[in-house]
Copies of this chain bind each other. A is one copy, B any other.
Amino acid sequence: MRSSLECLPCLVRQAMEAASRAARDEAETEALLRKIMKRLSRMDFGEPPPVVARDIHRLIRSATGVDDPYGPEKARFNAMALELLPSFEKTIASSPDPFAAALRLAVAGNVIDLGAKGDLTEREAFDSVAHAMEEPLEGDLEGFRASALTAKKILYLADNAGEIVFDRPLLGALPPGRVTVAVRGGPVINDAVMADAGAAGIPGIVPVIDNGSDAPGTILRDCGASFRKTFRSADCIIAKGQGNYETLCDEDAPLWFLFKVKCVTVAGHCGMEIGAHAVISRQAAGK
Contact = CB atoms under 8 A, between A and B. Distances in A.
Interface of A: 5-6, 8-10, 12-13, 16, 19-20, 26, 29-30, 33-35, 37-38, 40-43, 45
Contacts of A42: 34
A26 B12 contact: no
A42 B6 CA distance: 22
B13 A9 contact: yes
A16 B26 contact: no
11 contacts: A5-B16, A8-B16, A8-B33, A9-B10, A9-B13, A34-B41, A34-B42, A37-B37, A37-B40, A37-B41, A38-B41
Contact of A37 (B10, B13, B38): B38
A161 to B, nearest CB: 24
A5 B29 contact: yes
Contacts of A37: 8, 37-38, 40-41
Contacts of A41: 34-35, 37-38, 41
A34 B38 CA distance: 9
Given A37-B41, A38-B41, A45-B30, A9 B6 contact: no
